[in-house]
Chain A
């Protein structure tokens, strides 16, 4: 969604004018993509202030390199990838694991015990957004990274594997575990809500 006060430029026009140093062109590009970039950062770090700093860093990296953009891929894809790299760099600097080292899926027995329990609370229909966001925030860092990149941001496993430095199999495994954990969190939230009336 474009800020209504911005000049009426298409994205390709804004890119070309940004290469010439046109401030309004930079602003158009920023407003076109700010929500996507910020939301990604916020999902990954769960801290609005940090997410804003990372958003700023991602756009600065993009704008510094805008002169080299040749249009081989979609601009949004380029920005998206750059944002992910900025966030992952941040997580690496903080010493947080990007993915769990455990490549194996839990034993069948454990999984069955966990998932075939006595809950009657089915996650039918549409999920409460806020509850889902809270549940994602609770995920361990490694699970959160892969889940956000795949289910929220739409990266494929081979892309995730390249970005975070793991195997495709590990990426799939982490995603599955993340979803199972989220299911547990959401069910317990619903149970809590039902108990409290």
Chain B
């Protein structure tokens, strides 16, 4: 067999074909022998590339969010932290579904540390009365609100008036806090700018207090549809905040 004939049958031989003349020529001819050896080396090395790379964590985050939005993920009954939210189908458009809101909160935490469903609001200590807090000062809007919202929440004054003069309920001072998951999330955002972190932090405190108030209200009125709606709206706000921050971080 000559070299050019070897070339012609080479593809078949490399696929496992048997030809005595071919083998004899390859052993005797340095050039053809080298060619066959090189092609086998390439083929073997290529097989080792099969699982060499790993996708970024955001891929799973996106998949999880999409699974939720398509309804392929259904929450198990043992989910902690919060009542079962029953969305009013008549109201919710495809754009904001309650599962997406909760999922974005989960997704935000997952980006940081891959933990399962985080506590979205700190539970009040057992010995505190279940009174609603008024966590955000109802002061002048517009520029002053914007300026205030740039500052960390600890600089805010506590509410100056109760909701009504006849209201006997006691209001505790703002106790909104940022949970550990939220803090880690903010640390990620701060990689972008300190101002951005301060903005997100102050708004995170606001939405956390909204969630806490809504949870307290729902706890006292578990059959109240409005209570559920308030909690859902609060989660939606937090989910929006996470989503806006994630858009930045990515």
Tell me whether A105 and B42 are in contact (CB under 8 A).
no
Taken residue by residue from 12 to 36, chain B's Cβ proximity to chain A (1 for < 8 Å, 0 otherwise) reads as 1011000000000000000100110
Tally of B interface residues using CB under 8 Å: 46
In the complex, whether A81 has a CB less than 8 A from a CB of chain B is no
Q: Given A63-B72, A151-B46, do A30 and B60 touch, yes or no (CB 8 Å)?
A: yes
Residues of A1-25 contacting chain B, CB below 8 A? 3, 5, 20-24
Tell me whether A151 and B42 are in contact (CB under 8 A).
yes
In the complex, whether A116 has a CB less than 8 A from a CB of chain B is yes
Tell me whether A154 and B50 are in contact (CB under 8 A).
yes
Tell me whether A35 and B51 are in contact (CB under 8 A).
yes
Q: Given A115-B7, A179-B43, do A59 and B53 touch, yes or no (CB 8 Å)?
A: no
Tell me whether B51 and A39 are in contact (CB under 8 A).
yes
Residue on B nearest A31 in the bound complex, by CB: B60
Tell which of B62-70, B172-180, B197-205, B225-233 binds the partner.
B62-70
Q: How large is the interface on A (under 10, 10 to 19, 20 to 34, 35 or more residues)?
A: 35 or more
Main secondary structure of the interface of A (DSSP, over half): helix
In the complex, whether B125 has a CB less than 8 A from a CB of chain A is no
Tell me whether A105 and B11 are in contact (CB under 8 A).
yes
Tell me whether A39 and B3 are in contact (CB under 8 A).
no
Tell me whether A60 and B63 are in contact (CB under 8 A).
yes
Q: Given A60-B63, A183-B42, do A112 and B54 touch, yes or no (CB 8 Å)?
A: no
Nearest-CB distance from B25 to chain A (Å)?
13
**A123–B39 alpha-carbon span in the complex (Å):** 9
Taken residue by residue from 107 to 139, chain A's Cβ proximity to chain B (1 for < 8 Å, 0 otherwise) reads as 011011001100000111111010011001000
**A68–B72 alpha-carbon span in the complex (Å):** 13
Residue on A nearest B60 in the bound complex, by CB: A30
Q: Given A23-B67, A26-B73, A183-B39, do A127 and B45 touch, yes or no (CB 8 Å)?
A: yes
Residue on A nearest B15 in the bound complex, by CB: A172
Tell which of A48-56, A86-94, A95-103, A159-167 binds the partner.
A48-56
CB-CB < 8 A to A43: which residues of B? 49
In the complex, whether A191 has a CB less than 8 A from a CB of chain B is no
Q: Given A151-B42, A183-B39, do A176 and B11 touch, yes or no (CB 8 Å)?
A: yes
Q: Which of B8, B38, B56, B67 contacts A52 (CB 8 A)?
A: B56
**A74–B51 alpha-carbon span in the complex (Å):** 18
Q: Given A42-B53, A63-B67, A63-B72, do A52 and B42 touch, yes or no (CB 8 Å)?
A: no
CB-CB < 8 A to B73: which residues of A? 21-23, 26
Q: List A residues at the B interface (Cβ < 8 Å).
A: 3, 5, 20-24, 26-27, 30-31, 34-36, 38-40, 42-43, 51-52, 55-56, 59-60, 63-64, 105, 108-109, 111-112, 115-116, 122-127, 129, 132-133, 136, 147, 151-154, 157, 172-173, 175-176, 179-180, 182-183, 186
Closest 5 CB pairs of A and B: A21-B74, A151-B46, A108-B4, A176-B11, A127-B45
